[in-house]
């Protein structure tokens, strides 16, 4: 039976919504979900159509009509598309929802806007299964605040005001989760992702990981475990600053193709921020032109499956018909690992830099 969940990702500016969306697409698709993204309506109207409130030509009240109209239309299309795809497990992720628009006009004006669509606030709230609110980095993590969205430039003070207003917008939703900045950024994103897993009735992936070099296996051997297959091409890009790692990834999975950009930058000697976002095909191709010739690209075939409560991935490489890399996620570092009997372990390589993605790519580039 097909199940569809519609989840809003919201919060003030620079809270982590872009990275969270990208991570969710990657992880959920690896366990058999089809993920639809409903992009932020206001940004699309401003950047793509040039429709924005300015001077006496278009008031904020009139602008919100366009925003709500666009948002409702895209959500309807996503829902209809979800009915047509072959996958049974569907997630619709909305980059902000209709209630967010209440933060930009008065209560009376917002009620007037949605009344034009024969809607009430109760109707709108009921249309979403859950709301994940990522608190803006302008409140408690100012060092990470950025101005990446040119269509919606906001100062720190403006960002704090919008953060408070957005919190109020969704306060009556029956399943709203607020993720603050008391955690470091990675923990913040992981906590938000775990909330999504819970909403979907799935077991969140564990935090610890052990890596093994194993004898090569193919899909026929893994068939009893119903693996999700992904074909991945990962390209390492030239660094823009010392200590920064950049890469793009193309993932073919579940009859869909997704493109990702990831940038890891240090904020202290022992901590890095990992920012990630989805790319269009055009932007992906443009980014690959920045390839670092030392590391180049690596292609791999990945099989994702669960075995006895553990989430496992096996990466096979077209240039190596003898071995593969197995990752097993654990809840405790001393937890005993029970592997499928078909898998033959050669050695454990946890923490061995030679078996990390960029070093594998480097070796293949130099072959």
Please tell me the predicted confidence (pLDDT) of residue 270: 54
Residue 55: pLDDT band (50, 70, 90) is low
Closest CA to 68 of 98, 43, 92, 109: 98
Tell me how far apart the alpha carbons of residues 48 and 107 are, in angstroms, rounded to a whole number: 28
CATH fold, domain 3-200, is Rossmann fold (3.40.50)
Domains 3-200 and 208-366 belong to one CATH topology? no
Specify the pLDDT at position 157. Answer: 73
Residues with Cβ within 8 Å of residue 89, at least 6 apart in sequence: 2, 3, 32, 33, 34, 200
Work out the burial of residue 366: count CB atoms within 10 Å of its CB; fewer than 13 is exposed, 13-18 middle, 19 or more buried.
exposed
pLDDT given for residue 267 in this prediction: 63
CA 35 – CA 84 distance, rounded (Å): 13
Is the pLDDT at 367 greater than 70, yes or no?
no
Confidence of residue 68 (pLDDT cuts 50, 70, 90): very high
pLDDT of residue 116: 97
Instruction: Mention the CATH class of domain 208-366.
Output: mainly beta
Residues of the chain by 3-state class (helix, strand, coil), percent to 5: 35, 30, 30
Name the token pair of 102: 């209440």
- 76: its two tokens: 């309807």
Cα–Cα distances (Å) from 283 to 259, 261, 279, 311, 313, in that order, read 9, 9, 6, 32, 28
Asked if residue 263 lies in contact with residue 277, where contact means CB atoms within 8 angstroms, the answer is no
The label of the residue with tokens 């553990």 reads: 310
Q: Which of 85-99, 138-152, 326-340 has the lowest mean pLDDT?
A: 138-152
Per the CB < 8 A criterion, the answer to whether 117 and 68 are in contact is yes
Long-range contacts of 338-345 (CB under 8 A, 24+ apart): 338/307, 338/308, 338/310, 339/307, 339/312, 340/222, 340/224, 340/225, 340/307, 342/217, 342/221, 342/222, 343/214, 343/215, 343/217, 344/214, 344/215, 345/212, 345/213, 345/214
Residue 163 has pLDDT above 70, yes or no: yes
pLDDT at 76: 98
* Tokens found for residue 310: 């553990």
Read off the pLDDT of each residue in 196-206 and give the average, rounded to a whole number. Answer: 90
Q: Count CB atoms within 10 A of the CB of residue 223.
A: 11
pLDDT in tens, 228-284: 999 999 999 998 887 788 999 999 987 789 999 999 877 665 566 778 899 999 999
Q: Where exactly are the structural domains of the chain?
A: 3-200, 208-366
Residue linked to tokens 């443009």? 286
| Phi, psi (degrees; rounded to nearest 5) at 92 | -105, 115
135 close to 181: Cβ distance less than 8 angstroms: yes
Whether the full predicted model's pTM is greater than 0.95, yes or no, is no
Q: Which of 82-86, 160-164, 205-209 is most confident?
A: 82-86
Instruction: Give 140-186 as a DSSP string.
Output: T-GGG-----GGG---HHHHHHHHHHHHHHTTT-TTEEEE-SSS-HH
State the pLDDT confidence band at 290, using cuts at 50, 70 and 90: very high
């Amino acid at each position: 039976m097909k199940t569809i969940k519609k989840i809003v990702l919201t919060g003030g500016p620079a809270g982590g919504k872009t990275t969270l969306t990208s991570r969710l697409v990657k992880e959920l698709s690896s366990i058999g979900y089809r993920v639809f993204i409903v992009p932020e309506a206001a940004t699309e109207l401003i950047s793509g159509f040039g429709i924005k409130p300015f001077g006496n030509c278009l008031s904020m009240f009139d602008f919100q009509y366009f925003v709500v109209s666009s948002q409702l239309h895209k959500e309807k299309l996503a829902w209809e598309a979800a009915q047509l795809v072959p996958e049974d497990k569907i997630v619709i992720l909305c980059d902000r929802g209709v209630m967010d628009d209440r933060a930009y006009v008065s209560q009376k004006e917002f009620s007037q806007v949605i009344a034009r669509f024969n809607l009430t606030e109760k109707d709108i709230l009921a249309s979403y299964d859950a709301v994940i609110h990522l608190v803006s980095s302008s409140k408690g993590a100012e060092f990470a605040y950025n101005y990446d969205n040119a269509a919606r430039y906001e100062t720190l003070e403006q960002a704090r005001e919008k953060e408070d207003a957005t919190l109020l917008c969704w306060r009556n939703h029956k399943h709203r989760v607020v993720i603050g900045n008391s955690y470091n950024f990675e923990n913040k994103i992981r906590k938000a992702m775990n909330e999504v897993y819970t909403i979907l009735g799935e077991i969140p992936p564990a935090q610890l990981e052990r890596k093994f070099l194993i004898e090569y296996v193919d899909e026929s051997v893994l068939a009893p475990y119903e693996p999700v297959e992904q074909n991945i091409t990962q390209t390492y890009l030239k660094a823009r600053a010392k200590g920064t790692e950049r890469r793009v990834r193309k993932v073919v999975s579940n009859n869909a193709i997704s493109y990702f950009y990831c940038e890891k930058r240090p904020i202290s000697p022992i901590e890095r921020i990992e920012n990630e976002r989805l790319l269009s095909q055009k932007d992906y191709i443009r980014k690959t032109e920045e390839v670092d010739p030392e590391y180049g690209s690596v292609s791999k075939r990945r099989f994702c499956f669960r075995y006895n409560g553990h989430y496992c991935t096996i990466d096979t490489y077209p240039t190596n018909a003898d071995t593969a890399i197995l990752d097993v996620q654990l809840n405790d570092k001393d937890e005993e690992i029970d592997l499928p009997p078909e898998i033959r372990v050669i050695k454990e390589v946890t923490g061995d830099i030679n078996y990390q993605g960029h070093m594998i790519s480097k070796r293949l580039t130099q072959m």
